[in-house]
Amino acid sequence: MSSVKKIIEKMKTQPSGIKFSDVEKILNYMDFYETRQKGSHKRFKNKTTKETLTLPVQNPLKAVYVRQILRLLGDETK
């Protein structure tokens, strides 16, 4: 769990330098699971809210996608 917290802190301070594998760890922590991969994009779905999220598989992940995940994480903590 502490590695998840470290990744979240890194996402907040440096959103443009996050690896896709780290994002997958965060999404699993947030109860998202991979529903499919088509080409260079993966689609994730939340187990409880059924919200979907489509992300490109690239390293590093662009900051706009990291901020989107942080917004979802903010909703999870409320």
| Per-residue confidence (pLDDT) for residue 67, from 0 to 100 | 93
Q: How many CB atoms lie within 10 A of CB 32?
A: 23
Predicted TM-score of the model (pTM): 0.83
Q: 3 CB contacts (<8 Å, ≥6 apart)?
A: 25
3-52 pLDDT per residue, tens: 999 999 999 999 998 999 999 999 999 999 999 998 999 999 999 999 99
Which residue from 44, 45, 55, 49 is spatially nearest to 76, judged by alpha carbons? 49
Give CA–CA dist 60/32, Å, rounded. Answer: 20
- For residue 61, pLDDT beyond 90: yes
What domains can you pick out in the chain, each with its CATH number?
2-77 (3.30.920)
Which residue from 24, 26, 28, 33 is spatially nearest to 6, judged by alpha carbons? 26
